[in-house]
Amino acid sequence: MIISRRGLLLGALSLVAVGRAGAAEPPLPVPPGNRLAFDVVRNGSRIGGHFLDFVVSGDRLDVHIAVDLAIGIGPLTLFRYTHRARETWTAGQVQSIEARTNHDGTRHNLTMSRRANGFWVSGDKGSYLAPPETLPATHWNRRSLDGPMVNTETGVLMHPQIKDRGLETLMTASAIPLQARHFSLSGDVSLETWYDHSSRWVGLGFAGADGSKITYLLA
């Protein structure tokens, strides 16, 4: 999910999973407690949260994603963003995703489902067949950096350039330091993302259209 220019937040809040058809997949990085939660901070002030809940049943995994953001002055809300998505995985491969977004009054719907020869994607730009290795851009799965991504707000297929910037110390929302590997994405999307030693997603950062600094702090 990428928040567009008119919403003051430009980048990718969305949300990605990766599975290459026909290949043996490593275990998915389901976090302890089956939940990830982030405070979303703009220029030092919290503007909302990003939450992922993982439901495991045998070899099936459902990932429920919720993003709620609001920017305002006092009691006046100037911008509001909500995003809901559900990914379904079996045997380590993503099978489908459904997403709906309310981008400050503009609504988007996306579906993505596995076919024999790829993924059928339906979004704002129409419908098309994406390559089998395509993953939704929902960030929680480190493997999403290995192939093309689908923007889960608009349905656009993206091929960003990835740069590994090595290990860094990252602070959580409660000011606890942790070691994480930093990756920069450029081209179709510009953002910074971090994963810990277990491939758990632990941070995100990007610039808003107005130059504001948007940061995800692990809660």
pLDDT at 27: 85
Q: What is the pLDDT of residue 23?
A: 47
> How many domains does one find in the chain?
1
pLDDT digit string (tens) for the chain, length 219 residues = 544 433 433 333 333 333 333 445 678 999 999 999 999 999 999 999 999 999 999 999 999 999 999 999 988 999 999 999 999 999 999 999 999 999 999 999 999 999 999 999 999 879 999 999 999 999 999 999 999 999 999 999 999 999 999 999 999 999 999 999 999 999 999 999 999 999 999 999 999 878 899 999 999
Q: Does the residue 193 lie in any domain? A: no
Instruction: Flag whether 134 is in a domain.
Output: yes
This prediction's pTM: 0.86
Residue 187 lies in a domain: no
- The token pair at 133 is 């290795």
Whole-angstrom Cα distance, residue 182 to residue 108?
Answer: 30
Domain containing 129: what range?
Answer: 5-157
- Assess if residue 194 is contained within a domain: no
Note whether residue 181 is domain-resident: no
State the Cα–Cα distance between residues 217 and 215, nearest whole angstrom: 6
199 belongs to a structural domain:
no
As a residue count, the chain comes to 219
For residue 93, give the DSSP letter.
E
Per the CB < 8 A criterion, the answer to whether 173 and 36 are in contact is no
The encoded tokens of residue 28 equal: 């998915």
Residue 179 lies in a domain: no
Residue 73 in any domain: the answer is yes
